[in-house]
Amino acid sequence: MSEELSKAYELKEEYRKWFSRAKEIGTNEISVVKEELKLFYESLKSSGIPEMVNLIGTFQNWQTEILNSFVYNYSNGFLEGINNSTKVLKRNAYGFRSFERFRAKILLSHQHKGIGLHIG
pLDDT digits (tens, 9 = 90+) for 60-93: 999 998 888 888 878 888 888 888 988 888 888 7
Task: Quickly count: other Cβ atoms within 10 Å of residue 44's Cβ.
Answer: 19
Residues 61 and 92 in one domain: no
Mean pLDDT, all residues of the chain = 85
Task: Quickly count: other Cβ atoms within 10 Å of residue 41's Cβ.
Answer: 16
Residues 56 and 92 in one domain: no
Q: What is the pLDDT of residue 114?
A: 54
How much of the chain exceeds pLDDT 70, in percent? 92
Q: In this structure, is the dihedral angle defined by the CA atoms of residues 76, 77, 83 and 87, taken in order, positive or negative? A: positive
Residues 58 and 16 in one domain: yes
Over its C-alpha atoms, the chain yields an Rg (Å, rounded) of: 21
The answer to whether residue 35 scores a pLDDT higher than 80 is: yes
- Domain span at residue 90 reads 77-111
Q: What is the pTM of this model?
A: 0.64
Q: Which long-range contacts (CB under 8 A, 24 or more apart) does 41-45 make?
A: 43/11, 43/14, 44/11
Q: What is the pLDDT of residue 119?
A: 47
Q: Is residue 57 one of the residues assigned to a domain?
A: yes
Residues 14 and 48 in one domain: yes
Residues 85 and 63 in one domain: no
Instruction: Give the chain's domain count.
Output: 2
Which positions ≥6 away from 21 have C-beta within 8 Å? 33, 36
Which positions ≥6 away from 63 have C-beta within 8 Å? 34, 37
Q: What is the pLDDT of residue 55?
A: 92
